[in-house]
Amino acid sequence: MAQKIKDISGLLALLFSLTCTHAQTADIILFNGKIFTSDQKGLFVSALAIQGNKILATGNKETVEKYRATNTQQINLQGKTVTPGFNDAHFTDIVVLIGALILPMNKRKRR
């Protein structure tokens, strides 16, 4: 009886661990590059795993490989650099201002 309880509790523990494991898989893996992270501990990594709009893992190819599935797109960066998208809200204002200054100048008659 004690052995059956151990077997059942072991089986339940195994089933519980399988249901609690949330296996995340990457949609895209970038590798073999210079990827800027802005993390002071390591500003650059060579690989990155992405799921949707979320970064799953950064590091080397071995680190992100565990997130690869059969449908994961893998991109060999061939040493190229990747940086996050920068959005500068002030840049648009400057372009509009320059456009407003240049347009009237172009419409002036030359003497």
What pLDDT was estimated at residue 39? 84
CATH number at residue 43: 2.30.40.10
Say if residue 65 is exposed, middle or buried (CB neighbours under 10 Å; 0-12, 13-18, 19+): middle
Phi then psi for residue 48, to 5 deg, are -150, 135
Task: State both tokens at 108.
Answer: 């002036």
Q: How many domains does the chain have?
A: 1
pLDDT tens digits, 54-70: 999 999 999 999 999 99
Nearest Cα to Cα of residue 74 among 42, 49, 92: 49
Would you say residue 72 lies in a domain? yes
Contact 27, 51 (CB under 8 A): yes
Would you say residue 95 lies in a domain? yes
Would you say residue 1 lies in a domain? no
Residue 85 lies in domain: 24-104
Model confidence at 76, pLDDT cuts 50, 70, 90, reads very high
3-state DSSP assignment of residue 64: helix
| pTM beyond 0.75 | no
pLDDT tens digits, 12-56: 555 554 444 447 899 999 999 999 988 888 889 999 999 998 999
